[in-house]
Amino acid sequence: MTISYNLDISSSSSWTFLKIIFRWRGSVWKSIIHELAAWTIVYYIVFVVYRVILNNDEQKIFAAFAQHCNERLDGYIPLTFMLGFFVTIVVDRWKNIFANIGFIDNVAFYIASYIRGHDEESKVVRRNIMRYLCLTQILVLRDISLRVRKRFPNLEALIDAGFLQPHEKRMLDNVSNDFTKYWVPINWVFNLCYEMRAKNKVLSDVLLNGMLLEVKNFRFALQTLCNTDWVPVPLAYPQVVFVAVRVYFLICVFSRQYIITANVVNKSLIDLYIPFMTMLQLIFYMGWLKVAEALLNPLGEDDDDFECNYIIDRNITISLLMADQCNDEMPMQMPDLFRTGEKPLYSEEAAKMPVNPLIGSAVLSDIDEEEKVVMVPHPSSLNPTPAGSPQMRQRFTDKLKAKLHRERSMSLQNTVLESGRTDFLDVPRKSYYDNNAFNKEQRSNSHHNLETVNEEETDVPNFSKTIG
């Protein structure tokens, strides 16, 4: 079942936490009561042994052991780090499972709206399609939810409950394979939808496609549930976390004892018979762990697990109503009350409550909207970068240098090929460019090209003068 407490926290006050802190079902107290009781019993057994049974020398050894454990406990077992990551993973899985639990509303709207007709055949087909979808959901949930499994332990129970008919069970049994048969009712749904299109009960292929897409989405959600059940969190991770928390508090049984032995460095400043700080730590850390344990499989029988049987009942009831009784029904269309300018009304009690309008934050600024505003162009749009500016000249020079370098390289290669000297082609590129004569020629050509660039730049029109 799911424990709801939202009504208790509907308004925030100084006493709100008291409404939920003392709840029992689904509470942290119920989840950790056995661990807390067992730890307390073991703690006081060690307490009595240390104070009554051990002699002075043995007490000194115990004190040294307790100090050794206490100094290294938090560093060697980082509970906060381990629990934080583990609970994050578990909560994400929990949210994903609930998001894909399979509410039938969307696909039921499509089926009821797109398969037209008030004749008996159309009604039967619509109802059977809804029933097949619910049957698919039950076949999935009875394999992953213990509560649904107890409700429908076999297929005969589905026949007695009306979700499956005898001839349909025979068809399921005749499907011979070693895998699950969740897909069979979905296959029936697709075939029925196609048959309705062939009989023109579905008016177009576009409507048929939209209807089948919704069926596919419903099936995909159920497949996601199967995937999360088939492939859980790797076993080593929960083992590490579960063992770490329990080993931590097992060591605390020794390390958190109040040391009363004389002449030891870790003698307690105060002697208390109740280790309330460690007990609080156990409540918080163990409660944190119990949250993860409860959410790890939300389809079980814990207090906060999902109400799968309720979802099944809801889906079959609503979908059959859409398919038959409420199909193609709508109220008589009459003018609404707001047509005459009526304002939305409140009850007398609700009218006493203030209404804070949701408006943009800039609306509350002190800008005078009545003030006349003169619109002018931005200065940057009046002064674009002149064509003869240093920036434009540099970009033009860089582009021209790159172009001349490419042309020179292509010309040199063509000259080598025309001369028939192929030995140049076998020389590495770096060695070829390291030739002194070639470098000298390159420097000479570069100097000549720069002079050419400078001469051509004088021909660039001065757009700034034109703009001015």
Kindly report the average pLDDT of the chain as a whole number.
83
Looking at residue 368, its pLDDT comes to: 81
Q: What is the pLDDT of residue 420?
A: 57
Residue 85 makes CB contacts below 8 A (sequence gap 6+) with none
The stretch 119-142 carries a mean pLDDT of: 94
Closest CA to 257 of 277, 275, 280: 275
Domain boundaries, the chain: 21-99+234-296, 105-230, 399-453
The predicted model gives 98-116 an average pLDDT of 93
Spatial CB neighbours of 294, under 8 Å, sequence gap ≥ 6? 31, 302, 303, 304, 305
pLDDT band at 450 (very low <50, low <70, confident <90, very high): very low
pLDDT grade for 376, boundaries at 50, 70 and 90: confident
pLDDT in tens, 154-164: 999 999 999 99
Quote the pLDDT of residue 432: 43
Give per-residue pLDDT as tens, 290-343.
989 888 988 888 877 888 999 999 999 999 999 988 888 888 888 888 888 778
Q: Is the pLDDT of residue 12 over 80?
A: no
